[in-house]
Amino acid sequence: MLLAKSTENAIQLIIYLIRHADNDYIRVKEIAEQCNISFFILSKIAQKMIKAGILESYTGPNGGIKLVKNPSDIQLIDVVQSIEGTDVLDKCILGFEHCGEMNPCAVHQHWKEAREVILNMFEGKTLKEIIDIDELKEVYSV
């Protein structure tokens, strides 16, 4: 798997928020229960996305989280980088610490080419474009 499970969970979180956009703020506990994700894990994901400016939070009786921007203004790369860091696609696919242009591993060139395709895809798709709510309802039970 290329992306971490936490990135998949972040996408589920966003899908839930989009589907419930008529609500102002939604509690992380509610989202965790509905998406069958650990509250602790989802809280950490939400914190990263708040720090990245994708979500905002409000504390108090009607508190929770919500999307800051319209889904058509959020690129998939924004979500990926908010969870996995800005260098997620720069690392060696085999995990070699010193792999690079000067010291390439056996698959370095292939990964470099594939990485460009993946990066272009992530940068070229907004959340609005990738989310077909009707199709995802069954997949994520949201």
Given pLDDT bands bounded at 50, 70 and 90, which one contains residue 7? very high
In this prediction, residue 29 carries a pLDDT of 95
For the entire predicted model, the pTM comes to 0.81
Whole-angstrom Cα distance, residue 28 to residue 39? Answer: 7
- The rounded mean pLDDT for the chain is 87
Determine the residue type at 33: E
Place of tokens 């889904």: 71
The topology under which CATH files domain 5-137 is Arc Repressor Mutant, subunit A (1.10.10)
Tallying the residues shown for the chain, one arrives at 142
